[in-house]
Every structure is written in C-alpha cells, then in structure tokens.
Amino acid sequence: MRRPQKTKTLPAVEIIRRGKTIKTRITTDADNNANARAWGKIREVDSVRRGPEANDTCEGGDPDAETLCPYAEDRMKVELVSITPKAEKIMAYCARVSSPHQDNPEYAGLLKYCADHGHWSVFEMADATFEIVTSRAIAQQLLRHKSFSFQEFSQRYAEVMKYEAYAPRRQDDKNRQNSIDDLPKEIQRWWYAEQDETWRKAKWVYDIALERGVAKECARMILPLNTQTRLYMKGSIRSWIHYLDVRCGADTQLEHREIALAIRTLLAAELPTLAEAFEWV
Ligand SMILES: Cc1cc2nc3c(=O)[nH]c(=O)nc-3n(C[C@H](O)[C@H](O)[C@H](O)COP(=O)(O)OP(=O)(O)OC[C@H]3O[C@@H](n4cnc5c(N)ncnc54)[C@H](O)[C@@H]3O)c2cc1C
C-alpha cells in the first residue's frame, strides 16, 4: 500500500458534507464580477465571429490583474451522498463473525489489524456514495474504476450547460503522464481565454444544432472534454481505500487528485479509525 500524498493546499474542489460546504476555494459572484471587469477586453470579444488565428498570441486582459482566470465557470464539486450508518462498527461486527464477542464495542485495534494484514473483505461490508461534478475528461478516468457502480448525467437526454475552466501546466519532458505548474502568466491567461472562446463557439454550434432538430446525442459530438458532467459513484469502503491509494498519488492528473483528496477528507471524517490506519489525515 502506497502512502498517501500529504497536501497543505486547499483543493480546488467544493467539498460538501451533510448539505454544508466545508471547504472551498471557489470565488464568489462578487469576485467573479471584479475579475470579469479586470478582463473586460477579453469578455467583450465575440468569439464566435473570430477566426482561429485571432487569438494566437498571449495577449488579453489586464496584465496586472491578479486573477488569471476571469471566467470562473463552475468548478469541481464533491459531496458525500450516503454512507452505511455506523460503518466502522458494522465492518468490525462482520469481521468478528467467528468470535463469541461479536458485539464488542472496541473495534479500532481490530480494524487497524485488518488494514495492516490485507484482510480486505471486512471493508466490503460498508459502502459510500459520492456525487461528483467535474469535466468529461476526469469523469472518463473515474469510470475506469470498475469495482464501483455509477450513474452519470446523460448528454443524450438532457442539454449540456456548462464547462469547467482549468489552469494549464507545462508538459514534463521526462514523464509523458506528468505536468509541471510553472508556465508564465501570459500563457496561463491565453489558455483561459482560449478555453472560453472554444467553449462558446462549440456551445453556440451545439445550441443551433438543437434548434435545427439535431438530436442531443449527435449535437454533443462538438463539445470539448472540459464540458461539465455530474455523476454518482458508489463503492465499498474496500474500493474507496484502493481508489484513494491510487488517485491521491502524484502520478494522478492534478484535477483528478483534487477530487480524490476531497473524497479522502469526507471519508476521514466518517471513518476516523481507517483515516488513522491509512494516514488519510
Ligand atoms: C497514473 C495512472 C495512469 C493511467 N494511465 C492509463 C492509460 O494510459 N491507459 C488506460 O487505459 N488506463 C490508464 N489508467 C487507468 C488504470 O489502468 C485503471 O484502469 C484505473 O486506475 C482503475 O483502477 P482499477 O482497475 O484498479 O479499478 P478499481 O475499481 O479502482 O479497483 C479494482 C481493484 O479492486 C480490487 N477488488 C477486487 N474485488 C473487489 C471488491 N469486491 N471490492 C473492492 N475492490 C475489489 C482488485 O484489486 C481490483 O483490481 C491509469 C491510471 C493511473 C492511476
């Protein structure tokens, strides 16, 4: 079992527990409006009428503006929807199936023992479900975790409304699946502007296609990978332990890692013994 990566930075994910936002780095509407004003030059651009060559320089916006992303469309969100009540107690109760003391109220030592010795089936006795809002690019990675059950927003049934703006990072020369967060601000501003323009152009064509009677399942083919989606991901605690082990690691794409860290925060609050055993906190 890999040790989880510790992080001090707040994830760029809204984390919701029992209906309450417990952590967020999302800007407020007031911030967004101020950012948009600072970036008036780009906001006023009618992207749909501009040719692809029009924005091939890194110009745009107020170079002194602190915020690199003026658009602040919705960001990622993670909410704990449900978890087996008294999950740790239930797992310990089931683990003691062969013991005459199944109701023993002390279970921390037992669960830690099971964690240390790979007694995994114990952790299949409880489940948790999360609602995750993210891009289609990251949803595709989430859906690969085959031991989970999923329910995802249908782009065939409902209209797509939003996209998520993401910061650009530099391609790592040595590791093709890694990126480094040291790009100059001009490139970052240019990238945010391009994301917005690309989205608006795609959404414009998408909306016209729907108006002209094209089916949603066909019209969506024009949409970029940063189109926002929403899904429910349900799995046993065993699956979540494995998922966190893989997706909190530095090998995982940052945006996905931020989701995994948000899930870890929420699970740690529900499963304090396992949080200690697996060093989630
Ligand atoms: C850094 C990184 C790079 C990747 N690159 C690529 C790529 O280039 N191309 C690509 O196609 N994919 C890629 N992947 C995806 C990867 O190969 C896996 O498909 C993905 O991580 C899902 O993991 P999993 O198969 O372990 O599924 P999970 O559902 O997370 O775990 C399944 C595992 O859980 C265990 N298990 C078995 N039974 C149970 C049970 N009843 N309950 C709970 N757990 C059980 C088993 O160990 C099983 O293997 C990448 C993943 C990472 C993290």
Reading the block at residue 190, the tokens are: 């240019």
Find out whether the beta carbon of 147 lies less than 6 Å from any atom of ligand 1: yes
Reading the block at residue 76, the tokens are: 């990622």
Output the residue whose Cα is nearest ligand 1's atom 16. 144
Q: Report how far ligand 1's centroid is from the alpha carbon of 144 (Å).
A: 7
> Crossing angle of helices 254-270/237-247, nearest 10°?
140
From 150, 176, 246, 253, mutation site for ligand 1 pocket: most ligand atoms within 8 A of C-beta: 246
Mean pLDDT over residues 206-228, rounded?
96
Reading the block at residue 119, the tokens are: 């007694």
Mean pLDDT over residues 60-79, rounded?
60
Q: What are phi and psi of 117, to 5 degrees?
A: -105, 15
Q: If 0-12 CB within 10 Å is exposed, 13-18 middle and 19+ buried, where does residue 19 land?
A: exposed
Find out whether the beta carbon of 227 lies less than 6 Å from any atom of ligand 1: no
- Among residues 189, 247, 257, 264, which one is catalytic? 247
Find out whether the beta carbon of 252 lies less than 6 Å from any atom of ligand 1: yes
pTM of the model as a whole: 0.82
Q: Report how far ligand 1's centroid is from the alpha carbon of 91 (Å).
A: 23
Highest mean pLDDT range out of 4-8, 91-95, 171-175?
91-95
Find out whether the beta carbon of 251 lies less than 6 Å from any atom of ligand 1: yes
Find out whether the beta carbon of 236 lies less than 6 Å from any atom of ligand 1: yes
Q: To which residue do tokens 């396992």 refer? A: 274
CATH code: domain 13-46+55-277 is: 3.30.1360.170
Q: What pLDDT is stored for residue 69 in this prediction?
A: 56
Q: What pLDDT is stored for residue 172 in this prediction?
A: 92
Confirm whether 17 is a catalytic residue: no
**What distance in Å separates the CA atoms of residue 109 and residue 121, rounded to the nearest whole number?**
17
Say if residue 281's pLDDT is above 90: no
**What distance in Å separates the CA atoms of residue 274 and residue 126, rounded to the nearest whole number?**
13
Find out whether the beta carbon of 123 lies less than 6 Å from any atom of ligand 1: no
